[in-house]
Amino acid sequence: MYVRSTPTLLDLLIAWRGSILPYIAGRAMVVAAVSVLAVLVAHRLPGDIGGGAVPFTLIGLSLSIFMSFRNSACYDRWWEARKLWGQLLIETRSFARQTAHLPPAPREAMLTALCGFVNGLKARLRGDDEQATVAAWLPAPAALNPTDAALREVGRHLSALAADGAISEVRHSLLEGRLTAMSGVQAGCERIKSTPLPFAYSLLLHRTAWLFCLLLPFGLAGSIGWWTPALSLIVCYTFFGLDALGDQLEDPFGREVNDLPLDAMTRLLERELLAAAGRTDLPPAIEARDHLLM
């Protein structure tokens, strides 16, 4: 995630890092080349070779409305993912607080297993080696769903403590509720990860944006001449930029500039859980580098 203070006017004009420009530079170059070609053709042929700008105004209005619906849907996925990780922070902190009275050994084992759960969830969402990630915190986690195995390990400790009378049935039920909520966070993240927007929906938008941006110069060249490339690039920047931004927000768990900083959030949870377990050898917090927080 790209994080920085409120940009100045100069930043708005020249900022490259953190903007969507690197992702659409190739498409912008294609539109610029087509725009120059359209102006050259217009100089050789009389009249409006593309039928004028009115048809493109109507098409552009429809395309912008359609694009706003898609970007809203993509942002909803991004924001829901952020809320789920916020809920995970609440549940882990609450679990650590509500187990403060327990014996140190089983409590440390449970909080360490929760570290395995958090790191395993990040690995699962980013396509990393989930088994190896969880194995660093748990002995021999399940191969099918190592992240869920970490929660089952915590549940096993809770059941043993309840059987020994170390915690009451009420407290056991309360702590199990925390684990259930964490399992719900995992399921919610997996739902977002495994259910992208319908491909036909995105394909229709991509094709329409390309057709509009490639044909627009021919509609403008006859009336505005060499101003055509400039205006076409502005339109291209808007449409292709929103299109690329929607692609990034659709999968909020990736490593793009506008994706969620899962590394930093995971490290935050890990540090708090280890500190609650009495550990002093905490890993360093992850800070933003060049305004980029991963």
How does DSSP assign 119-159, residue by residue?
A: HHHHHHHHTS-HHHHHHTTSSS--SS-HHHHHHHHHHHHHH
Between 7 and 75, the more confident residue is 75
Question: What is the rounded CA–CA span in Å between residue 251 and residue 229?
Answer: 33
The pLDDT of residue 22: 82
In sequence order, the 6+-apart residues with CB closer than 8 A to the CB of 72 are none
Instruction: Render pLDDT for 120-139 as a digit per residue (tens, 0 to 9).
Output: 999 999 999 999 999 899 88
Question: What is the rounded CA–CA span in Å between residue 26 and residue 46?
Answer: 31
Residue 204 pLDDT > 70, yes or no?
Answer: yes
Provide the pLDDT confidence category of residue 292 given band limits of 50, 70 and 90.
low
Provide the pLDDT confidence category of residue 38 given band limits of 50, 70 and 90.
confident
Question: What is the rounded CA–CA span in Å between residue 236 and residue 60?
Answer: 11
What's the mean per-residue pLDDT of the chain? 86
Residue 12 pLDDT > 60, yes or no?
Answer: no
- pTM, 2 dp: 0.87
**Is there a contact between 121 and 147 (Cβ–Cβ < 8 Å)?**
yes
Choice among 66-70, 145-149, 237-241, 286-290 with the minimum mean pLDDT: 286-290
Question: What is the rounded CA–CA span in Å between residue 76 and residue 36?
Answer: 39
The pLDDT of residue 13: 58
* Stretch 102-111: mean pLDDT: 92
Question: What is the rounded CA–CA span in Å between residue 79 and residue 70?
Answer: 14
Instruction: Render pLDDT for 46-82 as a digit per residue (tens, 0 to 9).
Output: 655 555 666 677 777 777 777 888 888 899 999 999 9
Residue 15 pLDDT > 70, yes or no?
Answer: no
Residue 211 pLDDT > 90, yes or no?
Answer: no
Residue 75 CB neighbours (<10 A): 15
Structure tokens at 147: 């992240």
The pLDDT of residue 46: 64
Percent of the chain residues past pLDDT 70, beyond the cut: 88
Q: Where are the domains of the chain?
A: 9-276
Between 186 and 200, the more confident residue is 186
* Stretch 214-235: mean pLDDT: 85
Residue 141 pLDDT > 90, yes or no?
Answer: no
DSSP the chain: -B--S---HHHHHH--TTSSHHHHHHHHHHHHHHHHHHHHHHHHS-S-TT--SHHHHHHHHHHHHHHHHHHHHHHHHHHHHHHHHHHHHHHHHHHHHHTTTS-HHHHHHHHHHHHHHHHHHHHHHHTS-HHHHHHTTSSS--SS-HHHHHHHHHHHHHHHHHHTTSS-HHHHHHHHHHHHHHHHHHHHHHHHHH-PSPHHHHHHHHHHHHHHHHHHHHHHHHHHGGGHHHHHHHHHHHHHHHHHHHHHHHSTTSSSTTS--HHHHHHHHHHHHHHHTT---PPPPP--BTTB--
Provide the pLDDT confidence category of residue 86 given band limits of 50, 70 and 90.
very high
Residue 1 pLDDT > 70, yes or no?
Answer: no
Between 214 and 2, the more confident residue is 214
Provide the pLDDT confidence category of residue 118 given band limits of 50, 70 and 90.
very high
